[in-house]
Each structure stands twice: as C-alpha cells, then as structure tokens.
Amino acid sequence: MLARGAQRDGSAQGVDPLVVTLFTAEAARLVQLARFFVDDRTAAEDLVQEAFIRLARSTHRIHDEARAAAYLRSIVINLARDHNRRGLVSLRHRPPAAPDEPSAEDEATGRESRREVVAALRALPKRQRDCVALRYYLELSVPEIAETLGLSVNSVKTHLQRGLRAMEVALRDQHHRAPRPSPATSAPMPETEEGR
C-alpha cells in the first residue's frame, strides 16, 4: 500500500506529514470500512490507497487532521460505491474472525445471524445504511459521521434512529417467517410413568 514509499524513520519521501500521520492512524480502520462495502480485501486496500493518493494531492487545502480523516472516510465510501456500481463485487460483509475458536454450531449460527443483519442493513436507504454502518461498525461518533457524510448532527441522529428501527422490524419479520418444525417432524415426547 502507500507505506511502500515510507522510509525507515517513518517518514515518506515527498509526502505531506499529515498524510503520513493519517496513514499510520487511520489506514487499518479505513480498510475495515472498505471491507464492509466490498468483498475482496485487496480491492479494499486498493480503495484506501486511492483515498490516500487523493488526500496527498489535496493536502494544500486541508490542515485539520480531524477534517482530513472525515474526508478520507467519505472518499473510501464513495470509491467503494463506484467500485460496486461497476459490478466488480457484491456487497457482502465479512467481519474479522473471532480470536477464539467457536464450535461448528456456534459458527453456523453466527454466520446466519450476520447474514440476517447484513441483509437488513442492505435493505436500508443509502443514508440510513451509511449512518448505521459508520456508527456501529466503525464506531464513529455522531459528529464524526456528520462530518464524513456532510450532514448535520440532527440529520445523522434521525437516520440512525430510522435505520435501527427499520432493521429491528426487518429482523423481527425474518424470525417470524423462519420455518418452524412441524409436529410431524418434531422429536417425540418422552413417555412418562402416567402415559404408560
């Protein structure tokens, strides 16, 4: 990634110190954000690299690190959308694996739950989806989300509230529609002393 141009002392030849600082602080989180929108880790890394290249080209206009981080997040989101619009990958979310080894049953249940949550998230309108993803996946604050998406704080709060409500309804509906075992396929009731 962009770090290939970095020298041993941590500086990058010909690159604004703000870009180097932001790369160190934000690159991993930005790759996680990009992974939320694209399937391929390499594609996510490429999107983040492109975002840093764009930042490096415009650092003369950005002097506040917090604003630059928000600018980078918005670039990554827009690049991921463009990437997906071109039909190169689908929007699947694969969160990082848990450090402990779960049982096969836990893994299957967890995968199904993640699929349900991601399906509910994908069904949201764009702004609600972006706000919910940034808040609960990247754990950004409401003001950070507002700055990233160019919205007011109140607008972000409204999108979060509506998005969470819609996801709750969608997940509840999914569970109500889930097939339930019929009495014929259910396990037989054990006999009791009274039933003999």
Residues of the chain with pLDDT under 70: 1-13, 87-112, 177-196
Whole-number pLDDT of residue 111: 62
Yes or no: say if 5 and 13 are a contact pair by the CB < 8 Å rule: yes
> Coil, helix or strand for 4?
helix
Structure tokens at 193: 């002393």
d(C-alpha 196, C-alpha 184), whole Å: 21
Domain boundaries, the chain: 11-95, 104-176
Classify domain 104-176 by CATH number: 1.10.10.10
Whole-number pLDDT of residue 177: 67
Whole-number pLDDT of residue 42: 92
Q: For residue 79, count other CB atoms closer than 10 A to its CB.
A: 22
Q: What is the 3-state secondary structure (H, E, C) of the chain?
A: CHHHHECCCCCECCCCHHHHHHHHHHHHHHHHHHHHHCCCHHHHHHHHHHHHHHHHHCHHHCCCHHHHHHHHHHHHHHHHHHHHHCCCCCCCCCCCCCCCCCCHHHHHHHHHHHHHHHHHHHCCCHHHHHHHHHHHCCCCCHHHHHHHHCCCHHHHHHHHHHHHHHHHHHHHHHHHHCCCCCCCCCCCCCCCCCCC
> Coil, helix or strand for 6?
strand
Whole-number pLDDT of residue 158: 97
Whole-number pLDDT of residue 154: 98
Amino acid found at 36: F
Taking the whole predicted model, whether its pTM rises above 0.85 is answered as: no
Whole-number pLDDT of residue 119: 84
Yes or no: say if 41 and 97 are a contact pair by the CB < 8 Å rule: no
Radius of gyration of the chain (CA): 22
Whole-number pLDDT of residue 94: 43
Whole-number pLDDT of residue 168: 93
pLDDT digits (tens, 9 = 90+) for 123-169: 899 899 999 989 988 889 999 999 999 999 999 999 999 999 999 99
Q: Report angle CA 165, 105, 179 to the nearest 5 degrees.
A: 55
Whole-number pLDDT of residue 99: 46
